[in-house]
Chains A and B, each alone.
Chain A
Amino acid sequence: MEKRTLLVADSIDKRFGITHAVDNVSLTIDAGEIRGLIGENGSGKSTFSQMLCGIYSIGGGTFRLDGKELHVRNQVEANNEGIAIIVQEMGTLSGLTVAENIFLGHEEPFMHFGVKDARAMNKEGQRLLDEYGFGHIKAADMIDHYNFEDRKLVEIVKATYMKPKILVIDETTTALSQNGRLELYKIMDAIRADGRTVIFISHDLGEVLSHTDTVTVLRDGEYIDTVRSADMTEDDLKRLMVGREIGSAYYRTDYGEPISDEVVLTVENVSVPHEISNVSFQLHRGEILGFGGLSECGMHEVGKAIFAASWDRTGTVKLADGTEIDSITTAIRHSIAYASKDRDNESVILNESIRNNIVLPSIDDLASHGLLSGRKLTAFADKHATDMQTKMQSVNQFVSDLSGGNKQKVVLARWIGKGSNILVLDSPTRGIDVRVKQAIYALMADLRKQGKSIIMISEEIPELLGMADRILIMKDGVINGEFRRDPALSEEDLIAKMV
């Protein structure tokens, strides 16, 4: 196909206060191209694409689509110009039906003299859903009936049914299971085949390389380079993103180390209504036990159940000395730590300082005769935040100001500070950039060597293969397969047990 320039970005610029989020970025994108856009957290990739889509106002410079300068003030205007986005966060509105969400801002075809024809809207919505192969979602249902993944699928329909010239997909795949991802890739390919364009933002570099034609790299708000995906390896991309050699030790490299016979935690017949049933397993000293599966398989609930944070748990969770874990406070007192997948709500207290987040579980240990010393708390938090290399001004800074990776460092600093021996880490590197990911893997390997035990629940299969001594795969709330660490183990082996 002959190349035709579709989008020209000319000296695009954006500042937030004194932060230079996007620094004079110029690039061109062709029609019929899938363009990856990568960079570490804070590199400006989301800000750049959100200016294109009218979510942020343009700080400086111009976008030209098909040679015509763009002046969009909001997402609906951008849609009318042929630009659509699927955002990283929840992009559907609760309290509306699926159809109302799909046609939000574009209800005119269904309006008759100011009255909405709900039946026509539902019918058209259902036709689209069926056409996309998402027939299990019903257009007339309230969107609230559906889980995060299905709501993402609805967003995909919403963003693409009008056949936009440019579709921006911002870090969407982390919310999708393997099946959902495959659906999305199919849609991307279809858009390309149609001579239209996709801008694909993702932290998953393997995914970027296998599903894009070209990749643009941003670093600290600046344009670094645009390269052909076919010529690149993941390590090449990492080097461009970070600006230095990242080193080969990303995951663990050891194989064949025996797992200790010493059992530190026994989980027996644990069930949580509608989530998991009769889950039993043992965790050994110095073991990284991986849990994998589709996002709704119940593995996330297993983490909560061990920590006694589930609402209606039956069965027992026992330590080696026979202590039963029946409440969060018992769990913490007996050296169990938990980092939730829902980092912002269940792990960190956003509107609180780094200091108070870190000291929270250790506060009784730090008190003498029930009295707290502010200086002692600050010193404790500072030590552990600094050990984790948390990027911060001081421990008095609020956690809400930190990037995802640094928030996770605060969570880990909290539990390292508490001296926990059993760490339950749910999606520990979710939405976190390469550099911090590497640090977290190194920390896990280190903790393992110290004889601490880790349960790592993860939706990223390479992470399970690379880090775990043993992997349990869950499906529909039960354990469906067990694998030992082995260089010959492949993604397909695990996926076969998931679906």
Chain B
Amino acid sequence: MQKSTDKNHEPSKLGSFFASDTFKGLLPFIGLVVIVVAMNILTQGKILTPKRLRLLLSQVYYPMIVATGVFFVMTLGSIDFTEGSTLGLASIVISKLSFYSIPLAILGGILTGAAIGAINGFFHVKFKLQSFIITICTMYLFRGVCAYLTTETAVPASAAIKALDMNWLKITITVAVLLVAWFLFRFTRIGNDVKAVGSGETAARFSGVKTDRVKFLAFVAAGALTGVAAFVNVIKVGSITATAGNQLETQILIALVLGGLPITGGAKVRFSNIIVGTLMYTVLNNGLVMLGYESQTQQLIKGVIFLIFVALTIDRKALKVIK
């Protein structure tokens, strides 16, 4: 009964602290504080006024719901680029159905998203295509469908659905999505399975994980949750144009990586990545707008910050296993 203490792997020096998992785990939280403080100083306190905060909050809901779904896909070590066009298409479906029945509209939105997720998942699993390739293809495909449906004019939603634009409802939906996802991730085998696939797919399959089913369901979940987000989007904006959800996928990707999610997925993902990341991205985005930077400059700054975070948080061991 020997449980020896293997001394080989305790980081001892300060230098190794910065390379340690503890530091990598704390980095997103530190980043969030730094960005909030920096933006507060740069905007001379304007970003923390109640009015601004309310605006900030209103921009958090739907990215956070979408990020929750994508979180599962990225934990697998896969990627999903379809959120933007899924959100656009699901918003159109919800708007059209909202004239008949609100519950039907919600259901239609979720089903639209789930269907797109199922298409992605099917090609990924059955044809062993990389998720990166498939979702780029389907992104263009459904962006095209959105453009076609909105060529004549923007698609309006019913007054009934617009009347639902209340903060408490949006908060409730967002919190409910987070709670359910957290519960599934933490207390059922779903969380274990997605992490196992992300860390080592073959070994996971050989240990009894139904890897194909897990991957398929993750894409369906990402699509379905984007459908939920589309409902929140519709009650907020009221009419859908061709650009609805434009570049949402990259925003979500950046948010999750800022939140500390390793792009290789696997065992080191944390559920908090979703919340911290989305908040960080939204504050950063708002701050840059308030500072009056042109959109090109904003993109440039976001790109640099994104690069720094990827470099700091990426799990090099997972990319190429070193002995």
Binding site for B on A (CB under 8 A): 16-19, 307, 309, 328-329, 332, 338, 340, 344-353, 356-357, 359-361, 363-364, 367, 370-372, 386, 389, 391-393, 397-398, 400-401, 414
Nearest A residue (CB) for B13: A17
**How far apart sit A205 and B311, CA to CA, in the bound complex (Å)?**
45
Check if B195 is an interface residue, CB within 8 A of chain A: yes
Query: Which chain B residues lie closer than 8 Å to A414 at the CB level?
Result: 207
Which of B59-67, B107-115, B168-176, B313-321 lines the interface with chain A?
B313-321
Pick from B4, B189, B315 the residue with the most CB of A within 10 Å: B189
Query: Assuming A309-B206, A361-B207, is B8 touching A19 (CB within 8 A)?
Result: yes
Q: Is B51 an interface residue (CB 8 A)?
A: no
User: Cβ of A389 and Cβ of B200 under 8 Å apart?
Assistant: no
Q: Are A351 and B189 in contact (CB under 8 A)?
A: no
B209 contacts which of A360, A392, A401 (Cβ < 8 Å)? A360
Interface residues of B in 287-323 (CB under 8 A from A): 315, 317-318, 321
Chain A to chain B: the 4 pairs with minimum beta-carbon distance, closest first: A349-B200, A360-B207, A352-B199, A332-B208
Does B267 touch A at the CB level, under 8 Å?
A: yes
Asked if B44 CB lies within 8 Å of chain A CBs, one says: no
CA A338 – CA B8 in complex, angstroms?
Answer: 30
A348 to B192 Cα, complex, angstroms? 15
Chain B residues lying within 8 Å of A307, measured Cβ to Cβ, are 206
7 examples of A-B residue contacts, CB within 8 angstroms: A332-B208, A349-B196, A350-B203, A351-B317, A372-B192, A391-B4, A392-B6
Structural contact, A346 and B266, CB atoms closer than 8 A = no
Q: Is there an interface contact between B208 and A329, defined as CB atoms closer than 8 Å?
A: yes
Q: Counting CB contacts under 8 A, is B204 at the interface?
A: yes
Do the beta carbons of B192 and A351 come within 8 Å of each other? Answer: no
B126 adjacent to chain A (CB < 8 Å): no
Q: Would you call B200 and A17 a contact (CB within 8 A)?
A: no
Selected from B8, B192, B195, B206, the residue in CB contact (under 8 A) with A340 is: B206
Max chain B C-beta neighbours (<10 A), residue from A16, A17, A347, A392 = A17
| Chain B residues positioned under 8 Å from A349 (CB to CB) | 196, 199-200, 203-204, 207, 267
Contacts of B8 in A (CB 8 A): 16-19, 401
**Does the CB pair B3–A356 fall under 8 Å?**
no
B9 touches A401 (CB 8 A): yes
Q: Say yes or no: is B1 at the interface (Cβ < 8 Å to chain A).
A: yes
B205: Cβ under 8 A from any A Cβ: yes
For B187, list chain A residues within 8 Å (CB): 371-372
Chain A's nearest CB lies how many Å from the CB of B204? 6
A19 to B8, CA, bound (A): 5
Q: Name the residue of chain A whose CB is nearest to the CB of B10.
A: A18
| Inter-chain contact A372/B208, CB cutoff 8 Å | no
Q: A370-B188, A393-B5 are in contact. Are A346 and B267 (CB under 8 A)?
A: no
Q: How far is the CA of A19 from the CA of B189 in the complex (A)?
A: 37
Beyond A346-B206, A367-B189, A401-B8, list 4 extra A-B contacts (CB 8 Å): A328-B205, A372-B187, A389-B2, A400-B321
Q: Is the interface of B mostly helix, strand, loop or mixed?
A: loop
A475–B127 CA distance with the chains assembled, in angstroms: 34
Q: In the bound complex, what is the Cα–Cα distance between A357 and B195 (angstroms)?
A: 11
Contacts of A398 in B (CB 8 A): 267
Q: In the complex, what residues of B have CB within 8 A of residue A348's CB?
A: 200, 203
From B16, B317, B318, B321, A344 is in contact (CB under 8 Å) with B321
Residue contact B199 to A386, C-beta cutoff 8 Å: no
A17 CA to B321 CA, complexed, in Å? 19
Q: Roughly how many angstroms separate A361 CA and B9 CA in the complex, as a whole number?
A: 28
**A17 contacts B266, C-beta separation under 8 Å:** no
Nearest A residue to B210 via CB reads A329
Given A363-B192, A372-B189, A393-B9; A351-B266 close (CB under 8 Å): yes
| B22 proximal to A (CB < 8 A) | no
Q: Tell me, yes or no, whether B153 is within 8 Å of chain A by CB.
A: no
> Which among B9, B10, B200 is the interface contact of A350 at CB below 8 angstroms?
B200
Please judge, given known A-B contacts A18-B10, A353-B267, whether A363 and B189 are in contact too, CB under 8 Å. Answer: yes
Task: State in angstroms the CA–CA spacing of A18 and B5 once bound together.
Answer: 13
B271–chain A nearest beta-carbon distance, Å: 13
A4-B156 Cα distance, complex, nearest whole Å: 93
A351 touches B7 (CB 8 A): no
Residues of B within 8 A of A19 (CB): 7-8
Q: Which residues of B contact A356 (CB under 8 A)?
A: 192, 195-196, 267
**Chain B hits for A400, CB < 8 A:** 317, 321
Which chain A residues border B321 with CB–CB below 8 Å?
344, 350-351, 400
When chains A and B are docked, how far (Å) is the Cα of A206 from the Cα of B1?
31
A residues within 8 A CB of B206? 307, 309, 328, 338, 340, 346-347
B49 at the interface (CB under 8 A from A): no
Q: A349-B196, A353-B267, A370-B188 are in contact. Are A389 and B205 (CB under 8 A)?
A: no
Interface status of B45 (Cβ within 8 A of chain A): no
B192's partner among A329, A332, A360, A393 (CB-CB below 8 A) is A360
CB contact under 8 A between A18 and B12, given known A386-B1, A389-B1, A392-B3:
yes
Determine whether B202 belongs to the interface, using a CB cutoff of 8 Å to chain A.
yes
Q: Which of B1-37 contact A (CB under 8 A)?
A: 1-12, 16
A401 CB contacts on chain B under 8 angstroms: 6, 8-9
Task: List residues of chain B with CB within 8 A of the CB of A353.
Answer: 267
Q: How far is the CA of A356 from the CA of B199 in the complex (A)?
A: 11
B4 to chain A, nearest CB (A): 5
Q: Which residues of B contact A370 (CB under 8 A)?
A: 188-189
A346 and B208 contacting across the interface, CB-CB below 8 Å:
no
Q: Which chain A residue lies CB-closest to B321? A: A350
Q: How far is the CA of A348 from the CA of B205 in the complex (A)?
A: 11
| Chain A neighbourhood of B12, CB < 8 A | 17-18
Rounded to whole Å, the gap between the CB of A367 and the closest CB of chain B is 7
**Whole-angstrom distance between the alpha carbons of A356 and B203 in the complex?**
12
> Within the assembled complex, what's the spacing in Å between the Cα atoms of A17 and B20?
13
Instruction: Tell me the minimal C-beta distance from B122 to chain A in angstroms.
Output: 20
Check if B208 sits within 8 Å of A351, measured CB to CB: no
Q: Smallest Cβ distance from B183 to chain A, in angstroms?
A: 9
Q: Shortest Cβ distance from A44 into chain B, in angstroms?
A: 12
CB neighbours (8 Å) of B210 from chain A are 329
Instruction: Please tell me if the beta carbons of B16 and A17 are within 8 angstroms of each other in the complex.
Output: yes
Contact partner of B203 (CB less than 8 A), chosen from A18, A346, A371, A372, is: A346
A392 to B268, CA, bound (A): 19
Bound-complex Cα distance A367 to B184 (A): 13
User: A357 CA to B207 CA in the complex, in Å?
Assistant: 9
Which residue on chain A has the smallest CB distance to residue B4?
A391
